[in-house]
Amino acid sequence: MIEAIETTIVDCPTTRAHKLSNTSVSYQSYVVVRVALSDGTEGWGEAATLGGPRWAEESVEAIKANIDTYLAPALIGAEVLSFEANALRMRAAATRNSAARAAVEAAMIDAAGHSLSLPAYAFLGGKVRDEVEVLWALASGDADQEIDEARDKLQTRQHRRFKIKLGFHTPARDMARLARIVEALPGAVIVVDINQGWSEATAIRYLPALSEMGVALIEQPLKPGALAATARVARRSPIPVMVDEAAFSAAEIVQNGIAGAGSVYSLKLVKSGGLFALKRAAGVANAFGMELYGGCLLESSIGAAAHLAVFATLPELEWGCEHFGPRILRRDLAATGLQFSDYKLRIPTGPGMGVRPDMDVLRDVARP
């Protein structure tokens, strides 16, 4: 039985600036959720944002308030193993609020796993893989720094796939920077993330250059509301287009699938609102022939492990994942964090999510 749900906002410095088309992050903020059960066990979850309510409508302040005021009261006294019933209780208590609901569900599943000495993926159907290829994002905007960073990742066999963030410079300047990076990294797989920063005309103009550079995937080139325009870009593009911010709900995945707005879908707990919902989202995307990519919002090992619990159970995960978040933080939030080796991220095998928080770090980075 669920006895208590507690939340803490934490602000974690990053090793470098992480730029998107609409903001720049030099520290990452999370809401860390603790669920305590009547048998004395506890579980942990995490909700991430990027620079406040810019990437989506939730901020860490709103997430904490809505968990404390609405979600927690709806769950106190409930059986922790009633996963679907608890998801319905949360939906009834708070519309959307997908990051908040996902963090609470992750903490409940983690607690249930520790209570029963089972890994979280056991509740989701069992794992079909032990590791996932992990991508690294280059997002400082400084080509020289990014090239040095990527070469270090290649030399140490940490990462061989790289996502280049575009959209925060003029398109011409971004393309010049991208060309330098591609030339400096022969053989590396290159993904570009435009973060909604281009228009249809700009995308059409630069598609040939992206193709000539050998770019493997284009993420969310246009704003989410431009469904027909994105579909026209996808039809003209020789490079697969990935749907991210344009589809949070299953209905939105369907709309993008029918429109032909992308052939790859980015899976994120902050979009789906829970681990079970994320697995269903993967199924909906698959039904429209979309390949799957494990997206991130710079989660620590706590949040990344929740994603990996789902990714471990998916029959296909064609594009691997980008859960490099623990490595961009100056201090990870987990004492027993994730294991990276030989370009891969290992699926944690311990009870629950397989990671535990570092209480000293949590105290140090907690917001007063």
With CA atoms as reference, report the closest residue to 309 among 91, 3, 317, 79.
317
Dist. CA 204–CA 193, nearest whole Å: 15
With CA atoms as reference, report the closest residue to 13 among 25, 21, 31, 22.
25
Pairing of strands 131-133, 344-346: antiparallel
The residues carrying an active-site annotation are 165, 322
Exposure of 368 by Cβ count < 10 A (0-12 exposed, 13-18 middle, 19+ buried)?
exposed
**Residue 314: CB partners within 8 Å, gap ≥ 6?**
128, 279, 282, 292
Dist. CA 287–CA 300, nearest whole Å: 31
With CA atoms as reference, report the closest residue to 78 among 95, 64, 92, 62.
92
Dist. CA 102–CA 110, nearest whole Å: 12
Q: Quick one: how far is CA 217 from the chain centroid?
A: 17
C-alpha dist (Å) from residue 72 to 103, 147, 185: 12, 45, 48
Residue with token string 């509301």: 225
Dist. CA 133–CA 127, nearest whole Å: 15
Dist. CA 306–CA 110, nearest whole Å: 9
